Chain A
Amino acid sequence: AQTVTQSQPEMSVQEAETVTLSCTYDTSESNYYLFWYKQPPSRQMILVIRQEAYKQQNATENRFSVNFQKAAKSFSLKISDSQLGDTAMYFCAFMKQGTSGSRLTFGEGTQLTVNP
């Protein structure tokens, strides 16, 4: 079974600054995918970024980038130029590749607050 751990229950950052959210995972799989989802107060789950484990290059999406360290089983999210709208709960998630269904395993979440 896979486990995902987010060790920072809460974080805060000043507007326009950079913040990094941590995530570690445990798996014996070699083929898998990692995701960061954002959940604002509206409760809607929004995909932020995705990383394929077979890719060495770290994924980037505008102000969002990841630091994927496969050997260390670490998958951190960096948010640059933080904006007030980035205030949300952020979840790291793991998906195993295979025929049994693309099930997601989520971490406990990190509540990020961006201060003006």
Chain B
Amino acid sequence: NAGVTQTPKFQVLKTGQSMTLQCAQDMNHNSMYWYRQDPGMGLRLIYYSASEGTTDKGEVPNGYNVSRLNKREFSLRLESAAPSQTSVYFCASSWGPENSYEQYFGPGTRLTVT
């Protein structure tokens, strides 16, 4: 099992460019999440998908869109990148939305917007 995989690992964008971060999990998990981690801060939830076909906003959703493509894949799109979106992005997945199931994290994508 690869667990949670993310592509790309690193990306540099110019202000105004768009890109999609890809995430896939092979653990048959129902729920998936996107977080961002800024220096000196913990992870903050951007969007999540409690189950296939549903998505909801988290703490910091502005400037992002998501797509739960199928049960395995959950993508995060930046339509018009801004320097404030420079961060490390983590995808995570868990069995279900309603309890204490552990969240398994991907290795992260380091994004720099110039």
Enumerate chain A interface residues (CB-CB to B < 8 A).
Answer: 4, 9, 33, 35, 42-45, 47, 50, 52, 91, 93, 95, 97-109
Contacts and interface: CB of A to CB of B under 8 A. Distances in A.
A77 B83 CA distance: 35
Contact of B107 (A44, A103, A107): A44
Nearest to A107: B42
Contacts of B103: 47, 102, 104
Given A102-B31, A103-B33, A33 B100 contact: yes
B98 A99 contact: yes
Q: Is the interface of B mostly helix, strand, loop or mixed?
A: loop
17 contacts: A4-B42, A9-B40, A35-B102, A44-B107, A45-B90, A47-B102, A47-B103, A52-B100, A97-B98, A98-B98, A102-B99, A102-B103, A103-B33, A103-B58, A105-B45, A106-B43, A108-B42
Contact of B105 (A44, A97, A99, A102): A44
Given A35-B102, A108-B42, 12 more contacts: A43-B88, A44-B105, A52-B100, A95-B100, A97-B98, A99-B98, A101-B31, A102-B99, A104-B43, A104-B45, A104-B103, A106-B43
A104 B94 CA distance: 11
Contacts of A45: 43, 90, 92, 105
A105 B41 CA distance: 11
A106 B42 contact: yes
Contacts of B108: 43-44
- Chain B, interface size category, equals 20 to 34
Contacts of A106: 42-44
Interface in B31-79: 31, 33, 40-45, 48, 50, 56, 58-59
